[in-house]
Amino acid sequence: MRFVKQTFTDGVTLDYNEFVDCQIRDCLVLFHGGDFTLLRTTLTNVRFGLGGPANSTLNFLRLVRAASPLLLDELLNAAPGLQSDQSVTIN
């Protein structure tokens, strides 16, 4: 779903949604591993929750960090950054 110029304060699921010029604040932001877009969207005083494949990825990253923090740094530094048409602001 596409959301434009909306304010969210009661929990948000990122997966399969597009947020354009939105504000997300004072709530839980959930991510399960699906594609999403945040364009010119501000996140203020939010908490993050992971489920499904995203939670599995987090567990994998914890395993890598336990084996070697340097390996985790290498992995994170090799990952692609934001694309030029994406922007995220987190306060």
Low-confidence ranges of the chain (pLDDT < 70): 81-91
What is the per-residue pLDDT for 76? 87
Question: At 29, is the secondary structure helix, strand, or coil?
Answer: strand
Where along the chain do its domains lie?
2-90
Output the pLDDT for position 25: 97
What pLDDT, on a 0 to 100 scale, did the predictor assign at position 80? 75
Strand partners, 42: 23, 89
Task: Please give the pLDDT value at position 83.
Answer: 62
Query: In 1-91, where does DSSP find H-type helix?
Result: 52-67, 69-78
